[in-house]
Structure 1
Amino acid sequence: MNERDLIDALKNGDISGACLDVFESEPLPMDSELRNMGNVILTPHTAGMPDGRKFHKKRYDFFMKNIKQVENGEEPESKLNQLL
């Protein structure tokens, strides 16, 4: 896949949306336009994992717990990969 062409197609409406699990450069650079596009869903290169539904449910629960802790003024359980 050519990410530049995909971004252009998403911007001008040739493609209405995209769900991406693999990128030209991994991890996806923080300044990638794909990160800020409302018509793009990004997943962490896990789409082909066996028992992926169970994995994603566990991850979702973990994220929701951390989000609620931060909303309540508490420290999140994990600060891995935090943006500086």
Structure 2
Amino acid sequence: MVWGEVVLGVAVLAVVPFLAGSARTEAGSAKAVSSGSVLAAGAALVLALAVSLYATAKASEALSRRPAAAPPAAPAPAASV
């Protein structure tokens, strides 16, 4: 499941830069110029996503290995007087 989330997140980040061209063309603006800062920001987002998903998976794994809580004790029978 985690790898599915990783693939989906990376796919979204890979597609987003291609969505910026259409509105610029229709408005008659100059073509967008790619720069190193845009690539670095994208790489930072991919890295942050990967770290977050990895940490979530490790936390989930650690929680699943903890012993289950003991069921509540049955109430003691009432003393007859």
User: Which category of TM-score, normalised to the shorter sequence, fits these structures?
Assistant: 0.3 to 0.5
The structure in which a higher percent of residues are helix is 2
- Indicate the structure whose relative CO is greater, using CA pairs within 8 Å and at least 6 residues apart: 2
TM-score norm. by structure 2 comes to 0.34
Larger Rg: 2
Structure whose residues are more often strand by fraction: 1
